[in-house]
């Protein structure tokens, strides 16, 4: 069911989860186009067995966490993972917000918005951090939040292999979120290292760029495999990503119940060796 289970820090979750980013308005900013449908998507995801949901207070900002609370509180059996390190301005622009005090406030803002005392994990999203000292100070803030019981595990996102190694050697890392898909495999060394260490690897943009370029679904091999299997290109691309490692946890996002059901069905799609190649 939903690709089996894998470890996410202290939690065992289904390998097919849900990324809530697309529930906000255009550009991940402002309210959803259809609030009722957004609530239905969240509730349907849980009905279908999703127990790992990815979110952030800067989605909206505040919009997605409010929807989660409305639809799913008190989140029985659901591991909620968030991320910190960025903020939004009044026009929807993205900016770094990653000094240690900012990270702590970001975690507390997520807790307050969701109405919980602890999050399953929080990812430190790196946005242009240079040098070991800058990373060490920020990682220390995450360790303190974990030691204080605000988060159950520390994740990292948008990292280089060197940054991954530094963080994993300094403290326990429970998940890594980097871009990875059939077209862009630049994070393959990190995925391999996560597999070896038993760390969850949570690829973002598994269907290609989230901004309309390099869409994996148009890849001729994906289209051909979908036709042979009686599946959709989306399902083939997701099934291929799941098959790359037992450490992979998928969080495909959508604001449509129909697309949600299409995405989750990919967990039942088995690609043979020839199709994978």
Q: Among the options 18, 58, 59, 180, which is catalytic?
A: 59
199-235 residues labelled b (16+ CB within 10 A) or e (exposed): bbbbbbbbbbeeeeeeebbebeebeebbeebebbbbb
- Bridge partners, 107 (sequence order): none
For 47, other C-beta atoms within 10 Å of its C-beta total 8
The span from the CA of 114 to the CA of 75, in Å, is 10
DSSP state of 60: B
- Bridge partners, 119 (sequence order): 151
Query: Which residue do the tokens 């269907």 mark?
Result: 207
The span from the CA of 190 to the CA of 224, in Å, is 29
- Peptide bond just before 27 cis, omega within 30 deg: no
For 110, other C-beta atoms within 10 Å of its C-beta total 24
Active site residue 59: yes
**Residues with active-site annotation:** 59
């Amino acid at each position: 069911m939903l690709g089996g289970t894998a470890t996410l820090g202290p939690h065992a979750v289904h390998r097919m989860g849900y990324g809530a980013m697309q529930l906000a308005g255009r550009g991940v900013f402002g309210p959803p186009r259809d609030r009722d449908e957004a609530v239905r998507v969240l509730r349907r995801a849980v009905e279908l067995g999703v127990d790992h949901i990815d979110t952030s207070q800067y989605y909206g900002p505040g919009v997605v966490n409010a929807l989660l609370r409305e639809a799913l509180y008190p989140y029985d059996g659901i591991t909620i993972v968030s991320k910190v390190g960025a903020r939004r301005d009044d026009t929807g622009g993205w900016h770094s917000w990653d000094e240690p005090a900012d990270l702590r406030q970001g975690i507390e803002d997520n807790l307050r918005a969701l109405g919980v005392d602890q999050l399953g994990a929080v990812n430190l999203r790196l946005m242009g951090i240079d040098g070991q000292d800058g990373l060490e100070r920020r990682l220390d803030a995450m360790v303190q939040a974990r030691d204080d019981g605000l988060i159950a595990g520390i994740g990292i996102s948008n990292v280089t292999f060197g940054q991954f190694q530094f963080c994993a050697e300094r403290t326990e890392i429970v998940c890594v979120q980097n871009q990875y898909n059939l077209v862009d495999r630049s994070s393959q060394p990190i995925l391999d290292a996560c597999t070896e260490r038993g760390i969850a690897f949570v690829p973002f943009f598994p269907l290609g760029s989230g901004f309309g370029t390099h869409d994996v679904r148009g890849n001729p091999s994906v289209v051909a495999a979908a036709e042979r299997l009686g599946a959709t290109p989306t399902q083939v691309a997701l099934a291929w990503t799941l098959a790359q490692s037992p450490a992979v946890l998928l969080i495909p996002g959508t604001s449509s119940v129909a697309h949600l059901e299409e995405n989750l069905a990919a967990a039942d799609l088995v690609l043979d060796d020839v199709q994978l190649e």
